[in-house]
């Protein structure tokens, strides 16, 4: 019989820097792992309704395109899952931050297809879920240092979910309506 992952309670405010509260507060689901699964299919459905040309849409000249927003979500999810892995495994080495704008510029997401980015997003999410399910109760509450701030494993996973919700809302409000979807 397969084991069932426990429901992981939302992190306490003491488990993350105040900045991350903006993402964590968006997660209302009781079961974070199920929420991650459901979010993925919801985001994929929204983005799959767009055409390739719409993937290059920007609501303002200095804003990221739809593809760049999605690429940023992918990169951030990878980084935060890596942070969760290191902290869950009790690695005490501080983890450096990353410069999101530099990542987006270097990645050249505009040269990729929207369909390819959607596929990558789904693959990254699917890869994270078994990792998160493997964490034991002690790992979920373990804390480490990332971006010079203390954070718990469960806070990192909640940030992953909340970060996606944050960008999905921006995509829906500022991109998709204006892009004609």
pLDDT of residue 2: 47
> Can you give the pLDDT of all 181 residues of the chain as single tens digits?
445 567 899 999 999 999 999 999 999 999 999 999 999 999 999 999 999 999 999 999 999 999 999 999 999 999 999 999 999 999 999 999 999 999 999 999 999 999 999 999 999 999 999 999 999 999 999 999 999 999 999 999 999 999 999 999 999 999 876 655 4
b/e sequence 145-176, b meaning 16+ C-beta within 10 Å = ebeeeebbbbbbbbbbbbbbbbbbeebeebbb
Provide the CATH number for the domain formed by 23-179 in this structure.
1.20.120.450
For residue 124, give the 3-state DSSP assignment.
helix
Q: How far apart are CA 17 and CA 27, in angstroms?
A: 16
How many residues does the structure list for the chain? Answer: 181
pLDDT of residue 19: 97
pLDDT of residue 7: 84
**Cβ-based neighbours of 17, under 8 Å, separated by 6 or more:** 147, 149, 150, 151
pLDDT of residue 3: 52
pLDDT of residue 175: 87
Hey, what are 35's tokens? 């929420």
**Cα–Cα distances in Å, from 100 out to 67, 95, 115, 148, 163?**
14, 15, 22, 16, 13
**SS3 per residue for 1-18:** CCCCCCCCCCCCHHHCCH
Q: Please report which residue ranges of 25-65 form alpha helices under DSSP H.
A: 32-48
């Amino acid at each position: 019989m397969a084991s069932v992952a426990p429901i992981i309670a939302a992190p306490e405010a003491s488990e993350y820097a105040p900045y991350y509260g903006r993402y964590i507060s968006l997660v209302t689901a009781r079961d974070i792992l199920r929420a991650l699964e459901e979010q993925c299919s919801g985001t994929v459905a929204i983005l799959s309704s767009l055409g390739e040309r719409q993937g290059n849409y920007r609501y303002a000249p200095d804003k990221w395109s739809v593809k760049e927003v999605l690429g940023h979500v992918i990169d951030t999810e990878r980084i935060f899952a890596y942070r969760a892995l290191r902290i869950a495994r009790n690695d005490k080495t501080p983890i450096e931050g990353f410069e999101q704008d530099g990542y987006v510029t270097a990645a050249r997401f505009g040269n990729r297809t929207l369909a390819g980015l959607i596929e990558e997003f789904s693959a990254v999410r699917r890869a994270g879920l078994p990792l998160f399910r493997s964490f034991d109760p002690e790992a979920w509450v373990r804390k480490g240092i990332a971006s010079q701030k203390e954070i718990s494993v469960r806070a990192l996973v909640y940030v992953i979910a909340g970060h996606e919700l944050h960008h999905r809302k921006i995509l829906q409000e500022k991109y998709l309506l204006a892009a004609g979807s």
